[in-house]
Amino acid sequence: MNVVILDDYQDCIRTLKCFESLSEHQVMIYHDNVKEVHVLAERLAHADAVVLTRERTRIGEDLLALLPRLKLIAQTGKIASHVDLAACQQHGVTVTDGRGSGTATAELNLLLILASLRRLVPEVQRLQQGLWQGSLGRQLFGKKVGVYGFGRIGESVCHLLKAFGAQVWVWGRESTLQKAQAQGFEIAPSREVFFSECDVLTLQLRLTSQTQHVVTAADLGLMKTDAVLVNVSRAELIEPGALLAALQQGRPGFAAVDVYEHEPVLGAQDPLLALPNCLCSPHLGFVEKDNYEAYFGMAFENINAFARGQPQNVVLSV
């Protein structure tokens, strides 16, 4: 089969051990991200299968109509709204997905929390500029940390925070609260108290029609002037423009974000990057070697199973 892999930003997929499993196929890999449908159509014109790196490229009716040869979409991770399943059905394209570990993303949450509290990045920059200590950081131990959501990653974050001696509060829908409580985690008294009293608040929600823009400007306005908001999930969980305005107004006092409404962010073209009270990383949550082996390994296994006539991990069969 002709296999095309999109959006390999780091040019690293060929270095993965799991890449060897595609040895019987003809593989083309692209390292940049393009949005134009006609460019994607050219790249995928001879593809029997396309491997999608998470949600970096959208596959819709407009593109599928130009790809009569395409038979399979092998998604790394879970399918989301970036793939039009109805259009795939109409054009006879099978869709498979898989799952990696949430450990890497949970660890990045802790990294950003600790770096934010200790003002690590500006202190390192001061040292590189020939200066010495310039700020007084804070420890995580004893801080009240709110975790909004208790899915696979949120649960891991809670356990990591507990190991650091933080006082963990959980918030979310009723089933979330019941699950967290059953594992011994404390539930915030109310949504208002959750936002207003936490020293650190981290978002651990999947992006769905129910969670889109679930965090509002009013919520952020309740946060303390020295609180830290961390978002390693999805930018669209927050009302558009609300975080930028909130940081400019000083509530919360600081944020650490790994996700943006328009990715990739090139040329520093996101206003959050210009704020001194926002630590920005380039969507590194799941970008880790072991995780890539798991994500791409399953996607490649799905391609081989499809080639054998035995599709697996099928989301949409035609």
DSSP 203-231: E-----TTTTT-B-HHHHHTS-TT-EEEE
Distance CA 61, CA 258 (A): 30
User: pLDDT below 50 — which residues of the chain?
Assistant: none
CATH number for the segment(s) 103-280? 3.40.50.720
CATH topology of domain 2-100+288-316: Rossmann fold (3.40.50)
Question: Would you name the residues annotated as active-site residues?
Answer: 234, 263, 283
Encode pLDDT of 110-155 as tens digits: 999 999 999 999 999 999 999 999 999 999 999 999 999 999 999 9
Q: Which long-range contacts (CB under 8 A, 24 or more apart) does 261-269 make?
A: 261/235, 261/236, 263/33, 263/56, 264/9, 264/33, 264/56
Distance CA 112, CA 124 (A): 15
Cβ atoms of 126 and 134 closer than 8 Å: yes
2-100+288-316 and 103-280: identical CATH topology: yes
pLDDT of residue 316: 87
Q: Which residues pair with 230 in a beta bridge?
A: 202, 256
pLDDT of residue 110: 98
Which one, of 230, 177, 223, lies nearest residue 202 by Cα? 230
pLDDT of residue 101: 84
* Structural domain spans, the chain: 2-100+288-316, 103-280
Cβ atoms of 71 and 91 closer than 8 Å: no
Neighbouring C-alpha atoms within 13 Å toward the C-beta of 60: 9
Angle at 150 between CA 147 and CA 156, to 5 degrees: 85
pLDDT of residue 317: 86
pLDDT of residue 197: 98
DSSP class of residue 88 equals H
pTM of the model as a whole: 0.94
pLDDT of residue 99: 82
